[in-house]
Structure 1
Amino acid sequence: MALLRVFVYGTLKPGGLYHQQYCVAHLVEAVSAIAQGTLYDFPQLGYPAMTEGDGWVQGDLLTFSNRQTLAHLDYLEDYDEHRPDHENEYQRQEITVFTPDHQPLGQAWAYFMKPQRVKDLGGILLPSGSWP
């Protein structure tokens, strides 16, 4: 059976608000990881967003035994691959994920927000690449 790998950097991380509800049931492994991008905080909304960028975002690489978990994560992240991009809060794409010391861990899904949406929602840059 093929495993599902997802890079998370906010409320889905171990200890995060939605980790127990959305991740624990089929979680095989969680390892510290980084991915290339820029991280923003939305204090009024209680979650962050990652955009494409040249910096590094700190998070976790989650491995799941049930690929159906992706549909549940899509629902939480307000992503529907059949909708136009501008109607989704986040966009899901496959990226390369690395260990904290920049060794490649392979491909994983990640949720990105378009820069204009970050601006519209009043995102605050997190230069550290870490949330919270």
Structure 2
Amino acid sequence: MENAIFVYGSLMTGFWNYDKSLNGHVKQVIPAKVRGSLYHLAHKGYPALISGDDWVYGEYMEVNNLEDLKPILNKIESYYGPNDPRNEYNHILMPIYNLENEVIGQAPVYHYNADLDVEFLNKRIYIPHGSWRQFMEEK
């Protein structure tokens, strides 16, 4: 889907950045997952997905017009453009899997730029089950 995005943190339904940016623009939400490693940033209060071999769970969202939503999503995720050294998150086009392990499409995913965060190694909390929603519910 060209107008799709994968989200795994505060942009998921029911969280604060979904309400600020995506609510009213989403046609369909499919529970989904990607490969990576997931951490909670204790010093920031939100998650970080980095490269890895775990499953990271979130939502594959079909939206009305992704291009119209990119400015607000990029602002929320502190993404300034391709290869910009100020990016807190980078866009990575990734295969998206449904919960039955079948590829259901490709979509941009915000990958955390851990190189920018001097506190990352000391303040991160590894989420072995790969679900930030579950992590937040258990907190």
Fold similarity call, TM over 0.5: yes
Please tell me whether the aligned partners of residues 95 and 107 of structure 1 are also in contact (alpha carbons under 8 angstroms).
Answer: yes
Is 1:40 the counterpart of 2:9 in the alignment?
no
Aligned counterpart, 2:131: 130
- Larger helix proportion, structure 1 or 2? 2
**1:22 partner letter:** S
Please tell me whether the aligned partners of residues 49 and 118 of structure 1 are also in contact (alpha carbons under 8 angstroms).
Answer: no
Is 1:56 the counterpart of 2:55 in the alignment?
yes
Aligned counterpart, 2:64: 65
Runs (4 or more) in structure 1 with deviation over 2 Å come to 114-122
Distance (Å, rounded) in 1 between the aligned partners of 2:94 and 2:6: 9
**Count of residues in Structure 1 that have an aligned counterpart in Structure 2:** 130
Identity over aligned pairs, percent: 28
SS of 2:20's equivalent?
helix
Q: TM-score, normalised by structure 1?
A: 0.89
SS of 2:75's equivalent?
helix
Q: CA deviation at 1:42?
A: 1.2
Taking a change above 3 Å as real, the CA distance of residues 118 and 100 of structure 1, as seen in their structure-2 partners, is farther
After superposition, residues 1-132 of structure 1 pair within 5 angstroms as 3-67=2-66, 68-81=68-81, 84=84, 86-117=85-116, 120-121=119-120, 122-131=123-132, 132=136
Taking a change above 3 Å as real, the CA distance of residues 95 and 43 of structure 1, as seen in their structure-2 partners, is same
SS of 2:115's equivalent?
helix
Taking a change above 3 Å as real, the CA distance of residues 52 and 26 of structure 1, as seen in their structure-2 partners, is same
Q: CA deviation at 1:119?
A: 5.9
Distance (Å, rounded) in 1 between the aligned partners of 2:33 and 2:117: 20
Q: CA deviation at 1:83?
A: 5.8
**Larger deviation: 55-64 or 122-131?**
122-131
Taking a change above 3 Å as real, the CA distance of residues 103 and 73 of structure 1, as seen in their structure-2 partners, is same
Distance (Å, rounded) in 2 between the aligned partners of 1:46 and 1:101: 30
List runs of 5+ in structure 1 lacking aligned partners. Answer: none
Root-mean-square deviation (Å): 1.7
